[in-house]
Amino acid sequence: MPDDFDYSKPVSRQRQTAESVPLFTMAFIVLCVTITAAYWIVPEDNGSPAYKLGHFAVLDPAQIWDGRYMALFTSFFVHLSIMHLAFNMMWLWKLGSALEMTVPAWKYLLFMLIATMVGSCCELLLSGSTGAGASGAGYAMMGLLWGGRGFHRSWEQVATKENMRLFLVWGAICIYLTVSHTLPVANGAHFGGLLFGVAIGKLFFAPARKPVWIGALALLALTCALSLTWMPWSYSWNWYKGMQAGKRNHHADAIVYYERSIRTGGDKAALLGNIAIEWFNITNQALGDNHPEEAKRAAAKAEEASMASTAAALKAASDPSNAGSGGRATDESQTPSDQQMHRVK
């Protein structure tokens, strides 16, 4: 990316004055701190306003696929540790202030909304979770300021080579933390947000190589569409589709999805329990249709799946590496949220 922008030309869209205050950035920070505090203070559902405030923002993927798409944005406000919150708020202040003070407020807010949702979609496609935190938007802001740093001198002062190198190195460390199972990080949100920000910066603030960056936005749009409609490689999406099929009494289809979820990494004990329930439903359906032989075969499959679920649960409970994850045999269908862990972003 070029470093030879011409700052001798006047920038017509500057609006920064000595009295200007980045009010929206400040509001984002206050909301992040407040909602995160409520999330920490009231971890269990007790029906209180504090619980609702802290937990409305981060939803399990099934709720998003059911149409609650604003969770793609509201996950921005919840953070999972003091360090996570402090680090993200520091960069939100630095990057958000530089951006808010130099573009119209509606453009800033629209960018933050779309950038956060794009990052969440990228993470949803990659891991089956939106992640929690503001760093997807932070990477997007860094990308925008870097891609369009000829727009205003303050952008160049923030989007330095050193800061961009810091973001890239930290992104690489986060990938290592994730693949080494040290800390689950929303790497899809980081790099999806970064690509979105650079593309917007290049296209609208420092036009260069337009076809390339239009292609990048098209790729991100496809990523978002897939993350909300078709993810057969994801255990949580297959789990969700199995639940939907079961609700429609398409029990054989539900079993196919649950088996695919097991193959793609879903909780074996929980999913085998769901499969047992679907075979039990098929048994009842066959009895109602006066097909006793089919009912007998389905009942045997239900018993087999139930026993396998119990065995898998016992094996998971005895394995120290599975502590805190817990498939279990049950007479109620379980959801992906029973296995889901929020990723840091």
Three-state SS string across the chain, please? CCCCCCCCCCCCCCCCCCCCCCHHHHHHHHHHHHHHHHHHHCCCCCCCHHHHHHHCCCCCHHHHHCCCCCHHHHHHHCCCCHHHHHHHHHHHHHHHHHHHCCCCHHHHHHHHHHHHHHHHHHHHHHHCCCCECCHHHHHHHHHHHHHCCCCCHHHHHHCCHHHHHHHHHHHHHHHHHHHCCCCCECHHHHHHHHHHHHHHHHHHHCCCCHHHHHHHHHHHHHHHHHHHHCCCCCHHHHHHHHHHHHHCCCHHHHHHHHHHHHHCCCCHHHHHHHHHHHHHHHHHHHHHCCCHHHHHHHHHHHHHHHHHHHHHHHHHHHCHHHCCCCCCCCCCCCCHHHCCCCCEC
Query: Domains, the chain, ranges and CATH?
Result: 23-229 (1.20.1540.10), 235-338 (no CATH)
pLDDT of residue 318: 86
Instruction: Give me 35's structure tokens.
Output: 């909602």
β-bridge partners, 185? 344
pLDDT score at 210: 77
Please tell me the distance from the alpha carbon of residue 71 to that of residue 87, in angstroms, as a whole number. Answer: 22
What pLDDT score does 326 carry? 46
- Residues 6 or more apart from 95 whose CB is under 8 A from it? 138, 141, 142, 145, 158
pLDDT the model gives residue 3: 45
pLDDT at 332: 57
Strand partners, 132: 344
Along the chain (345 residues), what's the average pLDDT of each consecutive run of 10 residues?
45 52 97 97 93 94 96 97 97 98 97 98 96 97 96 94 98 97 97 98 83 94 98 96 97 98 96 98 97 97 98 88 48 63 80
